[in-house]
Amino acid sequence: MKRESAGSLRPADAGRRVRLVGWIHRVRDHGGVLFFDLRDRSGICQAVVSPSDAAAGIAGKLRAEWIVAVEGTVRLRQEGARNPKLPTGDVELGDVALEVVSESDAPPVLPSSTDVPDEAVRLRYRFLDLRREEMQRNLTLRHRVLQATRRYLDAGGFLELETPMLTRSTPEGSRDFLVPSRLQPGAFYALPQSPQLFKQLLMVSGFERYFQVVRCFRDEDLRADRQPEFTQIDIEMSFVDQEDVLSLAEGLTRALVAEAGWELALPLQRLTYAEAMARYGSDKPDLRVPLEIVDLSAFAASLDAPFVQSALAGGGVLRGLRAPGGASLSRKQWDELSGQIERFGLRSVPYIALAEDGLRGSLAKAVPPASQEALCQALGLEQGDAATIIAGPEEPTSLALGVLRLAFADRFSLRAPGHRFVWVTDFPLMEWSDEEGRAVSRHHPFTHPSPEDVDRLEAEPLAVRAQAYDLVLDGNEIAGGSIRIHERPLQERIFRLLGLSAQEAQEKFGFLLDAFRFGAPPHGGIAFGFDRLVMLLCGAPSIRDVIAFPKTAKGTDLLTGAPADVSQVQLDELHLGVKAAKEPER
């Protein structure tokens, strides 16, 4: 008899004889009549065993997570015995024959429980954790978004092409995972941080529209939304400009989020990088938060605070941000916020609060009475509100206000319901790296400068904008891309600005420069952080919740025990010696 799905049975099936095979979700043994819930991927269905049934003997032994095969007759439940919480709650399986397919120990992660075990237990027993409904739902949505990606891009004329996983390490970018070569002693492959160069070569090769669902590897520290291996939807197009790429990406995004039931109105909102920084203090602003940074330079002269005057004398800016209801915060609570902005060179959060008895706060004395009303009006302060006012160099000031903006949003629950997408465009091409002592690419070295800024490349490299863009969802970067350089001389200029000698450039990227000598089309693209997008669509708190077998924060896999020691024979074959003294084997 053919196996059917437990979750699919409905009143219309009443009277049919069916066979279900699945896991025992729960057993309710009343001594006489016994109920058990059978679970498979499709859902749950209740079966009933009466004392007179032949199956009664076996049924009494069933435990959670055993696998059983059940043959039974679908019947409508009695009046008052229906369960509106289950899709199958109007029917049940009666007159059953039972066969135990597979027994189970008492499981450390109980899929039928509402308690979520400790992360370490979940990861150690991931195969059980994945049985939980939440994880089944998350990975199912992941699948559907993936299939929607392929449908949409295939229909749009894109070819899904694969690129190497064993490739060469390149300068710039994040730390590479290295793979030692057996056949080339002392040489290493690198796992790709992204297929960037290969997809550009595919454009030179004339494929015109490429995409790939591709695993990428970056050997950096982990976060709730960062794993060392992750999946990108990688896209590249020839003979396009920025508008073409954004338009394609918007259409794709609409199709993908529709899988989660989200509706998206196009075109999406846009901000330039400069606007995003000035108004929200972030290059990935969460637009659900209604607060905006206010420029207060008009008040620069009238504020009587030494730090303001010295900051402005040094060419700094004066900006403020309202904290709705912030007058209720105590001095101590303001002090607690200061830890979040220490890294921007600020020791405390200067603030004013509009209380019933007038202006209070650490900065209140600096505000002359004559300026009070105008200042409060500029900041949009109402009775009971507060505001922070920060003076200093533009970038750290903006970033600090951006951090406080999110802190206010947390503390005062300011995020509007729903979801907000926004493009951030016109990123700087390069930024200064103190560590490297030189300019480094903000996006990557193949990013095309904005045409109107190309002339300034050598004169003011840090002021040059790029044809680079990020797609931001609720304060998370979910995609990023750029128009690429396809002109060999321009690419060489960029390499030079990045401190790469002609010889190094030829050595590391010669294959790309060579390719550009043979009719390279203008091209550009974008890559979506697939795991992160699915995480947000699921409402999950961590990227781990949408990856079947993720790593811990220290990059280990608690299920397999990776990374692990290898034998001396393996090391010898790879021409490797291990340098660090290691703990003795346990």
> Quick one: 46 or 138, whose CB is closer to RNA?
46
Which stretch in 136-144, 263-271, 361-369, 438-446 sits in contact with RNA by CB under 7 A?
A: 438-446
Site map (CB under 7 A) of RNA, residues 338-357, x = contact:
-----x--------------
Residues 19 and 3: beta-carbon distance below 8 Å: yes
Compute CA 102 distance to the chain's CA centroid, rounded to the nearest angstrom.
38
Rule CB under 7 A: say whether 136 interacts with RNA.
no
Q: What is the 3-state secondary structure (H, E, C) of 330-385?
A: CHHHHHHHHCCCHHHCCCCCCEEEEECCEEECCCHHHCCHHHHHHHHHHHCCCCCC
Q: Is 58 exposed, middle or buried (0-12, 13-18, 19+ CB in 10 A)?
A: middle
Rule CB under 7 A: say whether 83 interacts with RNA.
yes
| Contact residues for 421 (Cβ-Cβ < 8 A; gap 6+) | 253, 264, 268, 269, 471, 472, 473
- Counts of helices then strands in the chain (DSSP H, E): 15, 23
Euclidean distance between CA atoms 111 and 25, whole angstroms:
8
DSSP state of 108: S
| Order of strands, sheet of 386-392, starting from the edge strand that comes earlier in the sequence | 294-295, 317-323, 386-392, 351-355, 358-360
- Which one, of 206, 163, 166, 200, lies nearest residue 183 by Cα? 166
Which stretch in 103-111, 141-149, 249-257, 517-525 sits in contact with RNA by CB under 7 A?
A: 103-111
Q: Which helix (DSSP H) or strand (DSSP E) does residue 58 occupy?
A: helix 56-59
- Which one, of 125, 454, 404, lies nearest residue 292 by Cα? 404
- Residue list 180-219, contact with RNA (CB under 7 A): 193-194, 196, 218
Q: Please select the residue that binds RNA; options are 21, 56, 69, 110, rule is CB under 7 A.
A: 110
| Least distance from RNA to the Cβ atom of residue 143, Å | 23
- Which one, of 258, 254, 273, 240, lies nearest residue 526 by Cα? 240
Q: Please select the residue that binds RNA; options are 37, 176, 283, 474, rule is CB under 7 A.
A: 37
Q: Please select the residue that binds RNA; options are 282, 441, 450, 491, rule is CB under 7 A.
A: 441
| Least distance from RNA to the Cβ atom of residue 105, Å | 9
Q: Please select the residue that binds RNA; options are 5, 21, 42, 89, rule is CB under 7 A.
A: 89
Site map (CB under 7 A) of RNA, residues 140-179, x = contact:
--------------------------------xxxx----
> Quick one: 99 or 431, whose CB is closer to RNA?
431
| Least distance from RNA to the Cβ atom of residue 37, Å | 7
Rule CB under 7 A: say whether 438 interacts with RNA.
no
> Quick one: 102 or 147, whose CB is closer to RNA?
102
Site map (CB under 7 A) of RNA, residues 477-496, x = contact:
--------------------
Euclidean distance between CA atoms 186 and 145, whole angstroms:
42
User: What residues does 209 pair with on adjacent strands?
Assistant: 237
> Quick one: 361 or 449, whose CB is closer to RNA?
449
Euclidean distance between CA atoms 46 and 419, whole angstroms:
38
Q: At 106, give phi and psi (nearest 5°).
A: -65, 120
Site map (CB under 7 A) of RNA, residues 416-435, x = contact:
-------------------x
What is 510-541 written as a DSSP string?
Answer: HHHHHHTTTTPPPEEEEEEEHHHHHHHHHT-S
Which stretch in 47-55, 290-298, 374-382, 486-494 sits in contact with RNA by CB under 7 A?
A: 47-55
Q: Please select the residue that binds RNA; options are 8, 14, 19, 33, rule is CB under 7 A.
A: 33
Site map (CB under 7 A) of RNA, residues 217-236, x = contact:
-x-xxxxxxx----------
- Residue list 540-579, contact with RNA (CB under 7 A): 542, 544, 552-554, 556, 558
Residues 418 and 288: beta-carbon distance below 8 Å: yes
| Least distance from RNA to the Cβ atom of residue 583, Å | 9
- Residue list 11-30, contact with RNA (CB under 7 A): 26, 28-30
| Least distance from RNA to the Cβ atom of residue 301, Å | 33
Rule CB under 7 A: say whether 531 interacts with RNA.
no
Q: At 28, give phi and psi (nearest 5°).
A: -120, 100
Rule CB under 7 A: say whether 42 interacts with RNA.
no
Site map (CB under 7 A) of RNA, residues 297-336, x = contact:
----------------------------------------
Rule CB under 7 A: say whether 474 interacts with RNA.
no
